[in-house]
Each structure stands twice: as C-alpha cells, then as structure tokens.
Chain A
Amino acid sequence: MKQSGNVRMEGVVKQHGSFTALHGLDLEIRPGEFFALLGPSGSGKTTTLRILAGLESVNAGRVLLDNADVTHAEPGARDVAMVFQSYALYPHMTVAENIGFPLKMIGTPAAARSAAVQDAAAKVGIAHLLSRRPGQLSGGQQQRCALARAIVRQPRLFLLDEPLSNLDAKLRIETRAELRRLQRSLGVTMVYVTHDQEEAMTVADRMAVFMEGRVVQVGTPKSIFQRPASAAVASFIGTPPMNMLPARLEAGMVEVAGARLPVAEAGGQSGAVTLGVRPGDLRIAPDGMPATVEFIEDLGDSAVVLLQLAGQQVKLRAANAQALTEGQPVFLRFDPAAAHLFDSASGLRL
C-alpha cells in the first residue's frame, strides 16, 4: 500500500466576484484517511473539493499534495480522481469505454486497459454491465460506473462530491457502507463532500465542519458530536438537532426556564450562556424545568416528543412515550455531564 495522498491547504482564499467563498482555509488530510467535508449548502465545502481537483483557481494560499505545491497545477497533472454529483458519465461511450477512458488518455495499451477495466468493474460489482451505455443503467449502477472510472487508474487522492445524493434512501445507506469498505481495501485517501451529517458521521475517519466559508471544527465524528466547538456546529450535528436554551450560569448551576440545575463543565465562569442539551439527554422527571407536551412523533422503536418550554419548542428522544399524552404538563431534567455550554455572544464553547 503506497502511503501517499497527503493533502495540505494553507490559507486558501477563494472569491467569486465580491463574494468570498473561502476565508483563508487551513486543512490537513492524512494519507489513507476517509475525510469528510461537512456543512450546509453554500458553506464552501464543494469549492474546497474543486480547488483540490484543480477545477477552481485560488486567490491566495497554497495547496500541497504529498508536500509538492500543486496550487497552480492543471487538473490532469495532479493524479487525483473525482466522482461528480451528476456522475458525468460520457453518454456516447459504453460502461467499459467510460471506465477505460482515463487509461486510454495516458496511452495504456488496449490489453492492459481491458484487464484494468474488468478489475475495477468487478470491485464495484458492475462487471456484467460493461457493454451497456450509461443511459441504460439505473442510478445506483451509474454511480458505481463513476466510481470504477475513478479507481481504475489508482490515483493518490479520491474526491467525491455528494456521491450518494442522487440515490434513494435505502440504496444510499447500502452504498455508503460499500464505499467505506472500498476505501479500506484500496487504502487510498478519500475526500468526501456531503451536507448530510449522518452520512459524514458513519463513513468518515475525520471530518471538517464548514460554516460560511470557514472550517469551524476538525476532528473525528465522535469528538465533534461529543464536544461541538460552537453552538452552530452543535445544532448542525445530530438528529434531531440539539436544543438550545438561553440560560444564566452561576457557581456550577444554570438558571434555565425557571429552574436551577447543575452542570458539569462550568469552570468557575458565570454570566449569560446558551445551554445545549441533545434530545436524547433530556428526560422526564418529578421536578426540574416545567414544560408541556405538544406532540408525539412515534418512530416505532423510539419516539420524539415535542414540548413547549418557556415559550420555546424543545425535542426529547425517548425509548418509550406511551405514558405521555398531548397537552400534559411535565418536568424536564438532564444529566449534568450532558450539558453543553456556549458563550451567548460569540456562540463558542465555554
């Protein structure tokens, strides 16, 4: 396994006219890593991917691949492969010709090319479709064809732009597991753009969260989920999103919605804060924050309960909501260790 595919971006700035898409981006991606770029639409994640591919120029900063400066290198000179959101299969070529095209362009002899095409197609399970044209394939098969075209020339870096967004829900879940397996078996670096936090959480070794043209947090999915760096990241990661409540912090206790409850990470600070509690960490208790049950979404094996709390809607996830009825007054509490505290002005974690 070749340990190449190291990516470093230093102070990358990208402007589209007067709009700044990326404000001085710093990012390091390690060889062999499955790295997700996660963020809402317009946050700069796809722009970052396209800069890595060489399809977009940069206004400032450097891009390094395996310590070589490729900031101004042509896309074809970077030894990277990309799977486009639309797949961008060549409609007039067969599946075999599509997959073999990158090899044809570097002058691989026909026999070697055909063997490599067979091999790549087998890896993604479309070896029986080689003589079809893209128009005769299902969405999932087209996606595999695009993947095979990317892996056939064994690039040092894979770029995937929302590769699963055009598949239906069931296929998406199957394919993301396969993608993960493929990346493991090839041992290559994959950079994966998605706006779906669940997708990023399930496939990525590490991920970068993008907000408004900046990377706001980099880390493993678990570390970001457990310790989001800001209120914005906290409400973006996790379904249903984290509940955010205005509160006052004083001596290890928060005053929230008319109740005083203990929190673990106070750190001796005090003042106005935003208290974040995940729906799974809220529970019904004999005392605590007074709330009213508004609506119950039964998911079969669990339930999401919507409640009114001090004029604000909060969500609670429970294994069982059978004891609750709509309109019922209840009290809410949370584990002190599960409370996330953010500065109410800057939104940053305390």
Chain B
Amino acid sequence: MKRHALRHAMLWLVAGLLLAVWAFPVLWGLLTSFKSERDVLAYPPVWLFEPTLANYREVLFGASSILPNLWSSMVVSCSATLLTMLFAVPAAYALARLNYPAKRASGFYVLATQMLPPMGLIIPYYLVLQKIGGLDTYSGLTALYLSFSLPFAIWLMVSYFEDIPYEMEEAALLDRAGRLRTLWYVILPQVRGGIAVTTIFVFLNAWNEFLFAVVLGGNKVRPVTVAMFNFISVEQTQWARLAAGAMLAMAPVILIGLAAQRHIVKGLTVGAVKGGGRR
C-alpha cells in the first residue's frame, strides 16, 4: 500500500515537472499580456503588478489591430485543411489498399517531397506565384500550404488505413457494398480518430506557418504570425502587445484541440477494441 502511494507521488512529480517546463512560456506570455510595457521590462521581474487590458484593446481594436490577420489565417488554414483532407483521405486509401501500376513509385514520390528543405523552395515558389499572379492572394498561399500538407497527411493516413484488416473490406464486398460504399460505411468510420488527428496537425501547421507567409503574403493576405512580427521593430519590441497577440492567436488552436480531444482519445480506444474484437 505504501509503495503504491510512493509510486503515485513519483508519477505526479514527474508529470508536474514536465508540465511546468511545457507550461512556463505560455503562462509567462499570459502574464506578460496583462502587464504594462514598463512592468514587462522591470528587472528583477515583478510578480505583483496592476493588470491591464490595454494591450488586448490595442491589438484588437487599435491602430495595429490583428483582427484582419486572424481572419487571413483562418481563411488560409481552413481552406488548406479542408482541401488537404479531401484529397489525402482517398489518396491514402488507394496507397494502402489498391494495387495499381507504379504504386511503390508514387508512394515514394509522396515521401520524397517531404525531404526537401522548405528554405530551398522559397525562391522557386516566389517565381512561380509571381508568374501566375498568386502573390498576396488566398489561393496562392493555400495552394502553397497544400503542397506541404498533402504529402504529410497522406503518409499519416496511410498508416491508419493499413491498420484495418483486409477481411473488413472483403466482408463488405461480399455484403455487396462495392468499393465506394465500403470506404464510406466500413472503413472511414474506423479511421475517424486518424482523420481527427491528421486534420489537427494540418491545421496547426498552416496556422503556425511563418516563413512562407512572410515572403509570399503581403498586405492583403497577412496571417497573424506575420502580423505579430510587426510588434518587433528596429527601435523597440512591444513585448506586451506581442504577448497579447500571441494569446489571441493561440486561442482558436486551443479550442480546436479541446473539441477534438474526445475524438483523439476515442481513436486510440477504437484501436484497442478492434484488437479485442478480433480475438
């Protein structure tokens, strides 16, 4: 009994330490967002200060409001995520299950696109987008994100499809479901967890993307990551506003994470039951 309690205490300690390491920058940012610029720069750091909402007022409704940028981010991230999943799910299913000529080659091609360093692609992408008039447009940036997220999503989804036993499909085919209805009624419900996880990863990648957005965006399409960068200038860094902006930029991601948590956990248990179900 005593050893049990000790083990619990150790577990809590380790979990607490890890959580502290992870949470510190976020909490520090949260604190900073409520400070005045003077309190931010105080040394040693002040723990007790008069909280202010001035930073939030400024980044939301002030001269340098990031609301249009949040909208930009939302449009680009949502459309990139939607399109990615629309193409990645059938593509991954085909790679996992169907036999067609050059299957291995196309699978490797998808992987190979992930091997290129993004830095090396900026200039070619710039030139291409410039040629087709895609600079500083939603469609241009979305298409660009697709080129990264699609291979990533396909490879993530392939492993989920491969986990499903072949007999599932064979049973459905004998039940006269045909290929498409088998996918819709039998296979997709079983990879729900995988779809949720992939969607979140793709959305996060697009939402947090900075490098391409700063080069290939502009005045019309400027995601929030780029807008926040404007709080850092040559003369000064507006830490408090930057922190308030960061908190606002994190909010939708955190909300999505909370909403999808149930699905992610469910996805994990579905896998467990399947093994049990096949006993």
Contact = CB atoms under 8 A, between A and B. Distances in A.
Of A54, A75, A139, A166, most buried by chain B (CB within 10 Å of CB) is A75
Interface residues of B, number: 25
A169 to B, nearest CB: 16
Contacts of B170: 53, 55, 75, 82, 84, 88
B31 interface: no
Contact of A81 (B165, B174, B178, B279): B174
B278 A86 contact: yes
Contact of B277 (A54, A84, A91, A102): A91
A135 B277 CA distance: 5
Contact of A102 (B176, B189, B270, B278): B176
A101 B185 contact: yes
Interface string B157-193: 0000000010110111111111001000110011010
A74 B190 CA distance: 24
Contacts of B101: none
A89 interface: yes
B25 interface: no
A105 B177 contact: yes
A75 B174 contact: yes
Given A90-B168, A91-B190, A82 B276 contact: no
B177 A76 contact: yes
B262 interface: no
A102 B270 CA distance: 23
B190 A105 contact: no
B173 A75 contact: yes
Contact of B174 (A82, A106, A142): A82
Contacts of A81: 174
Of A55, A88, A135, most buried by chain B (CB within 10 Å of CB) is A88
Contacts of A90: 168, 171-172, 185-186, 189-190
A271 B105 CA distance: 62
Interface string A122-155: 0000000000011100010010000001000000
Contacts of B274: 91, 135
Contacts of B172: 90, 101
A142 B279 CA distance: 9
A87 interface: yes
Interface of B: 165, 167-168, 170-178, 181, 185-186, 189-190, 192, 270, 273-274, 276-279
23 contacts: A53-B174, A55-B170, A55-B174, A75-B174, A76-B173, A76-B174, A76-B176, A86-B278, A88-B165, A88-B170, A90-B168, A91-B270, A91-B274, A91-B277, A92-B189, A92-B190, A101-B185, A105-B176, A105-B177, A105-B178, A106-B176, A135-B276, A149-B175
